[in-house]
Homo-oligomer: A and B are copies of this chain.
Amino acid sequence: MEVYEAIQTMLAVRSYADKPIPPDAVQRIVEAGWLTGSSMNMQPWHFVVVEERATLQQLGALARSGPYIAEAALAIAVVIERTTYAVSDASRAIQSMMLTAWAEGIGSNWVGFHGLDAAKPVLGVPETLDLFAIIPFGYPARPVGQGKKKRKSLAAVAHRERFGQPFILQESD
């Protein structure tokens, strides 16, 4: 799938089919995170790839906003260093992984930021690092609609040359 199409169409998926993700797709998703650019190329991240059902269920029970992790085919826990740009860098890596999955028909959603400390021991995350997010992945349980995304108008967030001057050339829909 083309980059722009993936960004245009990607929606959060929180309900997953009981269907495994092929190992080569898992590999590409992990590599997408690994290869993402970071501030001063610090790469302040780790990716813990979870596919064991018992662990997914534990994570789903512990992550306050993500009980659906329990049903996912895969979850990637993103662990970060306590450095200035780590949140920003990891967020870019997560976007890369979610878009790569989406381009292969695999849905995901971002589970964070609170309540993840309790999940650190489950994953063996060292005390000196933070569990920043858990991203569950899976083929959508139901066809994903092509519905319009709920967004502010483009005019409300895009400006031309100076803040407050309208950017609009045309709205795309």
Contact = CB atoms under 8 A, between A and B. Distances in A.
A41 B162 CA distance: 25
A149 B170 CA distance: 37
| Range class of the A interface residue count | 35 or more
Contact of A7 (B32, B43, B164): B32
Contact of A34 (B3, B10, B151): B151
Contacts of A41: 150-151
A31 B95 CA distance: 16
Interface in A68-99: 79, 84-85, 87-89, 91-92, 94-96, 99
A103 B2 contact: yes
A163 B7 contact: no
Interface in A41-61: 41, 43, 45-52, 55
A64 interface: no
Interface in A135-170: 149-152, 154, 157-164, 167, 169-170
A16 to B, nearest CB: 18
A144 to B, nearest CB: 13
